[in-house]
Structure 1
Amino acid sequence: MAAGEISIRTDKGTYIGGDTIYGSVYVCLPEPTPCRCLRLQIRGYEISEYDYQYVEVSGEDTFTPRVGQRKAKKDLVRADVKLAENQGGLSAGCYAYPFQYQLPHNLPGVFHCRHEDQDSGRVWEAVIKYSIGAFIDNSGFPLEPRLAGETPLVVLEGPECQSSTTSQPDTQTASGSVRTFFCIHRGDILLSSTIDKTVYQPHQSIAISVNINNQAAVDVLGATVKLIRVIKLLGVDKSRGEEELDAHTVLDTIVETCPETCSKNNTRVCKVTLHLDQLNSERCAITAPSTSGSLVKCTYVVDVDVHVPWAPDIEVRQPLLITPAPNHVWERWSPPDWVQDCQTVDVTGMLSVPPDILTSQSFSGIPGFQPLI
């Protein structure tokens, strides 16, 4: 700790767009420094990169296949604000700088997924990441080491991901008619499906109720229930002079099961469970939560498909959200021993915290700040 230490604690580990972050930056300086400014940085960005194949034309009849790369980056949050400044430099000691910051509304949820195709070697990767950091600005003092600290922020896709309970999803229905020789009506088949909720954590299972009402004079050939993931990436290849974003879509069946079929003139209700926590495939594991960024989008649907003779398949789809893993860095954080000796410093400007907030439940879990009883 000879060079000092910075630690950051926020009021919780997960947020949604529009939430206010309450927290404190803890700074321990064993000796004074001529550096004059302590800054807080809040960052959020999305990155999309993927390989694609194109044909290079040279001459009249020479066509050479090539692999290029499209990429794009967009800032979602970019805040860099002074927490404290002293023209004479920062004094030795231990200090706590409470702050508050409201996130922009409608932020996409965090995301990270990377895949390399074993056959072609083509790679795609997508990232949506947020973090909060603090550092002592050593600009103009090149001999002074840069003292900094950072912690990740987990942003959820929407308010429904933050709630402990979700609304009951609507039942999805579809029907089909069986016709032999394209005209002889052999009856109808009715399909309905309901999932138990609309938001799932990566370790949970999806419970699905499938109702097949077979009013036709033929047996149902079979049925499949799938969890389908669709990832859409947008990017440009600047080396080829592209200016408009192009899209790359990756569609995967994450998990699939086949419930019992239904004989003619009969009704069957099937209870199906898709176990997310049993997925071990690197390609299909639920490491990619739902998100709706400008460059990176990831959606999930439960697809119920009934296969019928002499008729198109009958299909219903139900969208759902899958949340990211908890913020384990936040959960495992423990205050350094010197935090209990910190002197609270009033922060002014856009990050300042009113006294009634400092003594409220918003700061109850932040060391050094206790709510009034």
Structure 2
Amino acid sequence: MGGSGSVNVGVRLHQQTYTAGDTVRGTVYCQCSQETAASQISLTFQGKESTYLEWTESRGTGKDRRTVTRSAEDYHLFLQLVCPVFSPPGGRLLPGQYEFPFQITLPPYLPSSLTWHKRYGDKASFWISYKVKANVISSNGRESTSSKLDFQVVARPRPQILGHTPSHFVEPDTQDVNAGCCINQGFMVLGAKSDCVQVQPGDIFSASVAFQNQSTTNIDSVDLVIKQQVEVRAGGRRNEDKEKVGKAQKPGLELGSATARLEKKKSHNSRELVTSTALQDLYKQLQSGNCPRLDVPLAPHTLHSYAGSLISVYHKVHVVLKTPTCIDDVKVKFPLHVCSISGQAPPPPLPTAPPPSTSTTPQPNALPPGWNPSVQPVVLDIDAATPSTAPTAPPSPAPHAGTRLSFPTGSAPPFSAPMQSHQTAVLEGFQWSLEGICRALRTSVDARGTTNRFVSDPRGRSVVVSLTPVSFGRMVGSISIPMDRPESAYNFGYVLRHEGKGFTSDHIVSAIANEEDMKVELVNKLAPLASDLPANKDRVLKHLSTFQQFLVEDVMQGV
């Protein structure tokens, strides 16, 4: 147990690893050798991002030139649950030995524990870590004694959106093919589709590819490459790392005549006609599946997609038509979300370790001789527990409504005052405003969960019902993970339509105006909410390409 003076405190957990949303069970131990002023014994659960950067700088000139090594580190608490366990009557802790068995439910949207180090170049590392801390608070409100213990969290598998996997079309793109940067060889049209843009590490990702070769150059192969980008921030600096985590290739010989070159380059006028026809042909091929399909095994060590305050992990799928040397390749790309998925075997665990600066007290495996405590079981039902990036009502001074306190039969509590528990979520700088929700969405570990919690609170709901089309678009654009935008936008739009100023085509236009990846998904999700779409379809359609209009045709006709 940790401590000094007359009071020692320790904490044990029944297990070392938990899934987000699990119930954590353990025991707080306290030994008091003499009567001590103490206002409270409490538990604190913390989730923390920690980052470290190291780089070199050159100073001086000539003979005085030298290289110095600089470093920066930073941290951000995305979870801070403070749970009072016991308040001694009169602020005096009497001599004795005490145990407080407890249980508390973790928030369901926590990221997995993780340790990552950059392999090449300037040093960069990050940690996502969790710890529980038992505290004895003195009469002046300061922490007098504490004991810390690390534990691991595994992210909860992500449910499929509305019962189906999110598919994604990549609009066919017409690109010039040049030799030696300036000699035009014609053009190619390339598009793709994936039935699911969610995948977990170690699984197979599949995509269909459709293309037309309108150039005098052969296509050597079609490549499907998955790239991971990690960004680590500390001390006002950032470091990026890019890595290929999956690749598949189909040689041109396996793709048939579609890869063959033209004998003569198309004229400018015929190109426009071919491009218009190609869009419809490629859409039909992708829709029917009558086109090449590539399967890419994702590396088991691939990180989960993540957007936090100091750490960002993004994934992109690159589709490439490879051409001979010195001739431009044709490329398109689209986002991929890497996560654990419900109903699938869990991926292998990634390496975890606490940050090097973290010091924790070992579990009290050996209790003092003659240990004979008074036992007081505590159940801390923290149903509303949330990460600090999600909006949460401030704590009430009264016990949490779900708190249940009990004592074993035949034992008496050493103190007459009842124990209280409540949860405190630290929302640093959070405001119930448009700025507040945009900030929360930018750093949320789960934007859909943050959205749901925001609209369920009366103060957050009052912000949503007053959104203008411009502020609605700004809010949707704040969501850093593209896959979360359609569902979160729908939740905001639903409240606007039924409780606010109404939801119109102007809100949809604002949401898609600066969108790169999810225009079609946003329109398909939001169109049924817009009250003026029968009369104002053109306002939305003019912001979509011809191909994108094909993809929203059904929902527009159904409005």
CA distance in 2, matches of 1:114, 1:350: 44
AA aligned opposite 2:400: S
Confirm or deny: 8 A CA contact 2:113 2:128 kept in the other structure.
Answer: yes
Q: CA deviation at 1:201?
A: 1.9
What does residue 273 of structure 1 align with? 295
Give the letter aligned to residue 171 of structure 1: F
- CA change 1:94–1:40 in 2 (3 A) is closer
Aligned match of 1:97:
102
1:257 pairs with 231, 244, 248, which one?
A: 248
2:113–2:152: 8 Å Cα contact kept in structure 1?
no
Q: Residue 64 of structure 1: CA displacement?
A: 2.3
Q: Which has the larger radius of gyration?
A: 2
Residues in 1 aligned to 2:63 and 2:145: alpha-carbon distance in whole angstroms? 60
Equivalent residue letter for 1:112: T
Q: Secondary structure at the match of 1:354?
A: coil
Give 1:102 deviation, angstroms. Answer: 6.0
Structure 1 portions without partners, runs of 5+: 16-20, 237-244, 280-284, 329-335, 359-373
Amino acid paired to 1:318:
F
Task: Report the CA distance between 1:94 and its aligned residue.
Answer: 5.7
Q: Distance in 1 between matches of 2:349 and 2:41?
A: 26
Query: 1:57 offset after TM fit, Å?
Result: 0.8
Q: CA deviation at 1:56?
A: 0.8
Give distance in 2, aligned partners of 1:10 and 1:351: 28
Q: Deviations over 1:124-159 (max 9, x none)?
A: 21123334x24252869xxx9966655333457xxx
- 1:318 maps to 334
When normalised by structure 1's length, the TM-score is 0.65
- Please, which runs of 5 or more residues in structure 2 have no aligned partner? 2-8, 263-281, 283-289, 341-346, 351-364, 366-373, 381-395, 407-559
- Give the C-alpha shift of residue 230 in structure 1: 0.9
Q: Contact 1:99/1:353 (CA < 8 Å) preserved in 2?
A: no
Matched with 1:68 is: 70
Residues 303 and 33 (structure 1 numbering): CA distance in 2 closer, same or farther, change over 3 Å?
farther
Of residues 291, 309, 316 in structure 2, which corresponds to 1:294? 309
Query: Where does 1:336-351 land on structure 2 (aligned, <5 Å)?
Result: 344-345=377-378
8 Å CA contact 1:45, 1:129 repeated in 2: yes
Contact map agreement 2:177 2:330 (CA 8 A) in 1: no
Higher strand share: 1
Q: Sort the Cα spacing of 1:292 and 1:25 in 2 relative to 1 into closer, same or farther, 3 A.
A: same
Tell me the equivalent position of 2:12: 6
Q: Deviations over 1:327-359 (max 9, x none)?
A: 89xxxxxxx9xxxx9764476957735279x9x
Matched, 1:170 2:186: no
Which residue does 2:152 correspond to in 1?
A: 152
Deviations 1:21-76 (A, max 9, x none): 76554446799996764311121222222222321115x66322333223322232
**3-state SS in 1 of match to 2:238:** strand
> Residue 246 of structure 1 aligns with which residue?
237
> Residues of 2 paired with 1:115 and 1:180: CA distance?
37
Q: 1:298 to 1:4 in 2, by over 3 A?
A: closer
Tell me the alpha carbon deviations over residues 297-352 of structure 1, each in whole angstroms, 9 at most, x when there is no partner.
11111111113468632211121122276889xxxxxxx9xxxx976447695773
Residues 1:47 and 1:56: Cα distance change in structure 2 (over 3 Å):
same
The aligned residue for residue 129 of structure 2 is 129
Matching of residue 212 in structure 1 with residue 211 in structure 2: yes
Note if contact 2:231-2:311 (Cα within 8 Å) is conserved in structure 1. Answer: yes
Deviates more, 1:176-185 or 1:299-308: 176-185
Q: Distance in 1 between matches of 2:332 and 2:82?
A: 47
Structure 1 residue 231: deviation in Å?
1.1
Aligned length: 311
Rate the CA distance shift 1:351–1:222 in 2: closer, same or farther, 3 A: farther
Higher relative contact order (CA 8 A, sep 6+): 1
1:218 is paired with a residue whose SS is coil
Query: What is the distance in 2 between the residues matched to 1:77 and 1:193?
Result: 39
1:354 paired with 2:359, answer no
- CA distance in 1 between partners of 2:334 and 2:27 (Å): 46
Contact 1:7 1:150 in 2 (8 A): no
Distance apart, 1:290 and its partner CA: 1.6
The one-letter code of the counterpart of 2:328 is P
274 and 315 in structure 1: CA distance in 2 versus 1, 3 angstrom threshold: same
**8 Å contact 2:32–2:93 — kept in the other structure?**
no
Checking the alignment, whether the CA contact within 8 Å between 2:47 and 2:79 is kept in structure 1 is yes
CA contact (8 A) 1:109 1:290 kept: no
1:112 equivalent to 2:115? Answer yes
Letter in 1 for 2:124: W
TM-score normalised to the size of structure 2?
A: 0.45
Letter in 2 for 1:13: T
TM-superposed CA distance for 1:258, in Å, is 2.3
TM-fit CA distance, 1:176: 2.2
- Is the CA contact (8 Å cut-off) linking 2:247 and 2:297 kept in structure 1? no
Alignment partners' CA distance in 1, 2:106 and 2:211: 52
